[in-house]
Structure 1
Amino acid sequence: MVIPFKKIILHRLNMRMIFPFSTSFGTMQEKDFFIIEAVDMDGNRGFGESVAFPIPWYTEETVKSNKDMMEDLLIPILRENPIEHPNDVFPLFGRLRGNNMAKAAIEGAVWDLYAKREGLTLAKALGGEKTEIDAGISIGIQPTIGDLLEEIEGFLEQGYKRIKLKIKPGHDVDMLRQVRATFPDTPIMADANSAYTLHDIELLKQLDDLDLMMIEQPLQHHDIIDHAKLQKEIKTPICLDESIHSLYDAQKAIELGSCKIINIKVGRVGGLSESVKIHDYCKANGIPVWCGGMLEAGVGRAHNIAITTLSNFVLPGDTAGSSRYWERDIIKPEVIVENGAINVPTAPGIGYEIDEEALEEFRIEKQEFDM
Structure 2
Amino acid sequence: MKIEKIELRRVCLPLVTPFRTSFGTSTERETTIVRVVTADAEGWAESAAEPEPLYGPEFLDGADLVIRDHLIPRLRAEGEALTAERVGPALAAVTGHPMSKAVLETAILDAQLKASGVSFGQYLGAVRDRVPAGVSVGIMDSIDELLAAVAGYLDEGYLRIKLKIEPGWDIEPVRAVRERFGDEMLLQVDANTAYTLADARHLARLDPFDLLLMEQPMAADDLLGHARLAQVISTPICLDESIESARDAASAIALGACSVINVKPARVGGYLEARRIHDVAAAHGIPVWCGGMLETGIGRAANVALAALPNFVMPGDTSASSRYYEQDLTAPFVLDGGHLEVPTGPGIGVEVLPDVLAQVTVSMTEIAF
TM-score by length of 1: 0.97
Correspondence for 1:156: 154
- Where in structure 2 are there 5+ consecutive unaligned residues? none
Question: For 1:306 and 1:344, how far apart are their aligned partners in 2?
Answer: 6
Correspondence for 1:57: 54
> Matches of residues 108-257 of structure 1 in structure 2 within 5 Å?
108-184=106-182, 185-257=184-256
Contact 2:121 2:344 in 1 (8 A): no
Contact 1:291 1:317 in 2 (8 A): yes
Contact 1:336 1:342 in 2 (8 A): yes
Contact 2:201 2:232 in 1 (8 A): no
Question: For 2:13 and 2:156, how far apart are their aligned partners in 1?
Answer: 24
Shift of residue 30, structure 1, vs aligned partner: 2.0
Contact 2:133 2:316 in 1 (8 A): yes
Contact 1:8 1:37 in 2 (8 A): yes
Question: For 1:258 and 1:182, how far apart are their aligned partners in 2?
Answer: 32
Name the amino acid aligned to 1:198: L
Matched, 1:4 2:29: no
Name the amino acid aligned to 2:213: M
Contact 2:238 2:260 in 1 (8 A): yes
Name the amino acid aligned to 1:323: S
Shift of residue 25, structure 1, vs aligned partner: 0.9
* Dislocated runs of 4+, deviation >6 Å: none
Q: Any idea what the Cα deviations from partners look like across 1:34-90, whole Å, max 9, x if unmatched?
A: 111111113x11101101111111000000111011100111111111345312111
Matched, 1:72 2:60: no
In angstroms, what is the RMSD of aligned CA positions? 0.9
Contact 2:321 2:332 in 1 (8 A): yes
Q: Any idea what the Cα deviations from partners look like across 1:171-209, whole Å, max 9, x if unmatched?
A: 101111111111121100000001111111111111111
Name the amino acid aligned to 1:135: A
Name the amino acid aligned to 1:121: S
Matched, 1:360 2:358: yes
Question: For 1:85 and 1:77, how far apart are their aligned partners in 2?
Answer: 13
Contact 1:158 1:338 in 2 (8 A): no
Question: For 1:370 and 1:41, how far apart are their aligned partners in 2?
Answer: 13
Correspondence for 1:99: 97
Shift of residue 232, structure 1, vs aligned partner: 1.1
Counterpart secondary structure, 1:15: strand
Identity %: 43
Shift of residue 289, structure 1, vs aligned partner: 0.4
Q: 2:29 aligns with which of 31, 49, 52?
A: 31
Name the amino acid aligned to 1:182: R
Shift of residue 126, structure 1, vs aligned partner: 1.3
> Matches of residues 318-333 of structure 1 in structure 2 within 5 Å?
318-331=317-330, 333=331
Name the amino acid aligned to 1:25: F
Residues paired across the two proteins, number: 367
Question: For 1:169 and 1:143, how far apart are their aligned partners in 2?
Answer: 14
Name the amino acid aligned to 1:172: D
Name the amino acid aligned to 1:154: G
Counterpart secondary structure, 2:314: coil
Contact 1:168 1:195 in 2 (8 A): yes
Shift of residue 32, structure 1, vs aligned partner: 1.4
Shift of residue 221, structure 1, vs aligned partner: 2.0
- Where in structure 1 are there 5+ consecutive unaligned residues? none
Correspondence for 2:262: 263
